[in-house]
Amino acid sequence: MRAKTIYWDKVYESNGENSLSTGKVLLWALLIISVFLVVYVRHLCVREGYAISRLASDLNEMEIQYQLMQEKQSEMRDTASLYKMGENMGLVLPDMNRTFNVQ
């Protein structure tokens, strides 16, 4: 009977040591996974930051182009510039004595 008790005590001790080392392994694995996840999330944040910066610069460029197009449109609608463009093309204003209103 005494031999069985000693045997069970040794089995319990060896299982306790295994569970202790298993616990250490699990803690180390959890620590390594945590560090990896922190590094990965930081990498994703930096990548998204660069994407946001690139989009902001594209937006600024598009705003500049939009303003240039608005200026060009207002210049094209100006009557003085229309007369000047017509003269460059060889067009002349009709004589007021030669115009007729048809009803």
Q: pLDDT per residue over 71-96, tens digit each?
A: 999 888 888 888 888 889 988 887 77
Which uninterrupted H or E stretch holds 28? helix 2-77
C-alpha span between 76 and 80 (Å, rounded): 9
pLDDT tier, 65 (very low <50, low <70, confident <90, very high otherwise) = very high
Nearest to 45 by CA among 35, 57, 37, 33: 37
Phi and psi, residue 59, nearest 5°: -65, -45
C-alpha span between 88 and 65 (Å, rounded): 27
Question: Quick one: pLDDT at residue 83?
Answer: 86
C-alpha dihedral over 81, 86, 87, 91, to 10 degrees?
Answer: -160
Arithmetic mean of pLDDT, 11-22: 60
* Orientation of helix 79-88 relative to helix 2-77, angle to 10°: 70
C-alpha span between 12 and 69 (Å, rounded): 84
